[in-house]
């Protein structure tokens, strides 16, 4: 008989999306079908330039490099400078300052493990946060605590996650808030990682990278930033992400990743290179989201709901000042599915998240139903 596996330090949280089955079933009974605004999955076509680069690199008999091709690292450094005002250390140097990742979720989930933080300590995450930050702590055997301000001390803290613009609520951290975390992390020797996957999607404010010189100062000591092509290039299926920042931390992650075989396929690396060198498709996609946001936000407010934060990113953080599941049920009656805020922590229990990642037709249908 096979011996049972040893129990981990604590169980993974339930996979949250399964809890929406009843709401989806109810919404599906609407005569016009479901408008699913619950998951931020891009629906617009991937720009042709990515597909062309992917196809041109399709003859790839050898293994890809975990470090990333020189062309990709150069394009990534150029993108960081051009779009975010961030200058990374020599991207082609012996200590890498930027490497590709298999999307961003994999990196978020594995970062504590890749940094060798497993077994003891605490990961600090935002009070309302993408669930994978917690999952990454649990997988590494670490405790997880929620906070939006640096604590008085750092006893046992191994890693800090920031998320600006935030998922689910679209909140953007100010320069002062970012600097407070940078100073705290450096003072206590704790790495600070910023998930900036929505950084190119500022609406009411312009998001700032934690690596920007106005925040980080002259170098990136103790800092990491995570970026993704999934939303800005409508390329979630390509699984193309970036990790950049402190070369000592990036090198540690890269060395473990190459041992584990966490390699971005060579054709995808070429597609990423093409995408990072082109701003036109990013700007065009941004304008599509801007239009959807304007129409949906106006309808949500006209229906008597309030939108909090949501100054950037791909979501509206909506409340009727009631338990989020009551709002979910009300929306399901209109044939609309949103994500309950409780998925993102107890502080989100009176909000729902409505994604802008639906076709124009589905967004317009939601607008019509909210106004009925």
Query: pLDDT digits over 141-165, tens only?
Result: 999 999 999 999 999 999 999 999 9
Q: What is the pLDDT of residue 10?
A: 62
2 pLDDT exceeds 80? no
For range 103-107, the mean pLDDT: 96
CA distance to 82, 103, 113, 187, 333, per residue, from 239 (Å): 22, 4, 20, 35, 35
Quickly state the pLDDT bin for 372 (edges 50, 70, 90). Answer: confident
Quickly state the pLDDT bin for 12 (edges 50, 70, 90). Answer: confident
Radius of gyration of the chain (CA): 21
CA distance to 180, 222, 312, per residue, from 168 (Å): 22, 26, 10
- Percent of the chain scoring above 70 in pLDDT: 97
**Lowest mean pLDDT, pick from 3-12, 45-54, 187-196:** 3-12
220 pLDDT exceeds 80? yes
119 pLDDT exceeds 60? yes
For range 18-27, the mean pLDDT: 92
Q: What is the pLDDT of residue 296?
A: 98
What lies within 8 Å, CB to CB, of 125 at 6+ separation is: 133, 134, 137, 144, 145, 146, 161
Q: What is the pLDDT of residue 17?
A: 74
132 pLDDT exceeds 90? yes
Quickly state the pLDDT bin for 5 (edges 50, 70, 90). Answer: very low
All structural domains of the chain = 16-45+281-370 (3.90.1150.10), 60-277 (3.40.640.10)
The secondary structure of 296-344 as a DSSP string is HHHHHHHTT-EEES-SBSSEEEEE-SS-HHHHHHHHHHTTEE-EEGGGG
For range 93-104, the mean pLDDT: 94
Q: In this predicted model, what pLDDT tens digit does every residue of 187-215 receive, in sequence order?
A: 999 999 999 999 999 999 999 999 999 99
Q: What is the pLDDT of residue 4?
A: 54
**Prediction pTM value:** 0.94
Classify 355 as helix, strand or coil. Answer: strand
Q: What is the pLDDT of residue 370?
A: 97
CA distance to 39, 102, 160, 183, 254, per residue, from 107 (Å): 19, 7, 14, 24, 11
Q: What is the pLDDT of residue 93?
A: 87
């Amino acid at each position: 008989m096979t011996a049972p596996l040893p129990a981990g330090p604590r169980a993974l949280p339930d996979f949250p999306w399964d809890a929406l089955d009843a709401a989806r079933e109810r919404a599906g009974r609407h005569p016009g079908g479901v408008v699913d605004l619950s998951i931020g999955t891009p629906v617009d076509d991937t720009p042709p330039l990515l597909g062309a680069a992917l196809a041109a690199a399709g003859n790839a008999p050898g293994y890809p490099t975990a470090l990333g091709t020189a062309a990709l690292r150069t394009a990534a450094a150029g993108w960081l400078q051009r779009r975010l005002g961030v200058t990374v250390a020599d991207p082609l140097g012996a200590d890498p300052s930027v490497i590709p990742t298999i999307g961003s979720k994999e990196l978020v989930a594995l970062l504590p493990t890749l940094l060798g933080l497993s077994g003891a300590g605490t990961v600090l995450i935002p009070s309302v946060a993408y669930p994978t930050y917690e999952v990454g702590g649990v997988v590494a055997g670490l405790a997880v605590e929620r906070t939006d301000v640096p604590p008085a001390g750092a006893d046992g803290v191994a890693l800090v996650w920031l998320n600006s613009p935030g998922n689910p609520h679209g909140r953007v951290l100010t320069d002062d808030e970012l600097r407070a975390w940078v100073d705290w992390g450096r003072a206590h020797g704790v790495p600070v990682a910023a998930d900036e996957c929505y950084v190119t999607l500022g609406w009411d404010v312009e998001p700032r990278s934690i690596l920007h010189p106005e925040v980080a100062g002259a170098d990136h000591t103790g800092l990491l930033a995570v970026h993704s092509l999934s939303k800005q290039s409508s390329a979630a299926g390509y699984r193309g992400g970036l990790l950049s920042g402190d070369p000592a931390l990036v090198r540690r992650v890269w060395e473990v990743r190459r041992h584990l075989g966490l390699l971005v396929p060579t054709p995808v690396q070429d597609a990423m290179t093409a995408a990072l060198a082109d701003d036109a498709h990013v700007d065009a996609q941004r304008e599509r989201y801007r239009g959807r946001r304007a129409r949906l936000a106006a309808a949500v407010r006209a229906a008597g709901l309030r939108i909090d934060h949501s100054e950037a990113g791909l979501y509206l953080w909506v409340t009727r000042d009631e338990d989020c599941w009551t709002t979910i049920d009300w929306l399901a009656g209109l044939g609309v599915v949103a994500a309950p805020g409780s998925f993102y922590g107890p502080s989100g229990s009176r909000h729902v998240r409505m994604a802008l990642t639906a076709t124009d037709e589905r967004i317009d249908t939601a607008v019509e139903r909210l106004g009925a």
